[in-house]
Amino acid sequence: EKAGRSSEENGNGMEFVATCLFGLEKFVGEEIDRLGLSRISTIDGRVTFRGEPKDICRLNLNLRCAERIFILVGSFSTDTPNPFESLFEGTKSLPFEEYIGANDTFTVNGHSVKSRLTSIPACQGVVQKAIAARLASKYGKSWFDGDGCRYAVEFFLLNNEATLMIDTSGVALHKRGYRPESNAAPLRETLAAALCKLARPREDVLFWDPMCGSGTIPIEAALLMTDTAPGLRRSFASEKFPFLPKEYWKEARGEAIGRIKTDVNFESYASDIDPKCVELTRENIYRAGMGKYIKAFERDALKITTGGRRGTVVCNPPYGERLLSQEECAELYKKMGSHFSALDSWQIYILSAREDFERLYGRKADKVRKLYNGMIRCGFYQYFKRKNG
């Protein structure tokens, strides 16, 4: 027996949740708008919106700054004298049989923020039992060990409000598929995409990451400039969902491929002082299919020059945590400030977790955007103008 609802039955009433790193909600919302979907609400790290089943394919393929796409099954309050009972009964009341079939299996994970139910393992157990009870009542069986599709259910408890969701992405969306290996302090691809959007790469303006590591920033810039969907080179958990016809995926991939721009006059440099990073970057560029737009080579970031060209520098130097000591990091920032000031009218964008970055760099940024690199709070320091103009 197969579970699921057709797009006709769902209409435009299906709800989704896109999760993201803190600070990237604006970008995720704009990407959802671009796909023609309707936003409902936004909180830290989450955007809720409406769409149709076929949009699951488009979302996973196209969103650059989201971490996962979830089907929102339902929400309810647990602010009662017995919150565990409310969690059980609320979960049991939700229509999981519309997605999970009689021969399917499921796992449960979740998070709790500012809620009375703080034990994640205990909540997992309650949700697991409630879903099993719901499915048992619908399918007339009490044990789910079939060989069908495997679903990942996630609960989110915020201010005693429970939200139950089904993950459609599988592996997180920042795993594009072009970076199987990375350096010691990798920048998440979703954050790199946001940095590129803020830096506004343009045709005929050289885009340069002089501390490229594994090449994530230049690759994301090239994907953005060519309008190449970030998910084209990977698969997703929902490709196995019985209620999503294969034709939906074929159509979404065809739409994304047809949108790729191949005549973009965009050039990016990816350089690093470490030859191993340069070699890794070249491999990643090849896997991403962006070799036409990115040149990778070995060079000290403190020796880059404009070559008489217009340019933009975007980089993620060490913070003094995993790479370099705090003292070495401080010295690097001072030298960067001195050398980058000689890059004529180039725009400079630097991500750093150091609160004293501007003092060390020797110049106050024109704008600072607060972002999170994983759980590390950072500033994205943006320099638009000449130092003396």
Residue 103, helix vs strand vs coil: coil
Residue 298, helix vs strand vs coil: strand
Distance (Å, rounded) from C-alpha 18 to C-alpha 168? Answer: 10
The pLDDT of residue 141: 81
The pLDDT of residue 242: 94
Is 0.85 surpassed by the pTM of this model?
A: yes
Closest CA to 357 of 339, 332, 340, 385: 332
Query: What is the end-to-end Cα distance of the chain in Å, rounded?
Result: 70
Distances (CA, A) of 4 to 51, 106, 108, 136: 16, 15, 19, 16
The pLDDT of residue 8: 35
On the 0-12 / 13-18 / 19+ scale of CB atoms within 10 A, 119 is: exposed
Residue 71, helix vs strand vs coil: strand
Encode the chain (389 residues) as per-residue pLDDT tens digits: 333 333 333 345 799 999 999 999 999 999 999 999 999 999 999 999 999 999 999 999 999 999 999 999 999 999 999 999 999 999 999 999 999 999 999 999 999 999 999 999 999 999 999 999 999 999 988 766 678 899 999 999 999 999 999 999 999 999 999 998 665 557 999 999 999 999 999 999 999 999 999 999 999 999 999 999 999 999 999 999 999 999 999 999 999 999 999 999 999 999 999 999 999 999 999 999 999 999 999 999 999 999 999 999 999 998 755 667 889 999 999 999 999 999 988 999 999 999 999 999 999 999 999 999 988 999 999 999 765 54
Q: Which residue has the tokens 């099954």?
A: 73
Q: How many CB atoms lie within 10 A of CB 248?
A: 21
Q: What b/e readout covers 148-170, taking b as 16+ CB neighbours within 10 angstroms?
A: bbebbbbbbbbebebbbbbbbbb
Q: Which residue has the tokens 């709070």?
A: 377
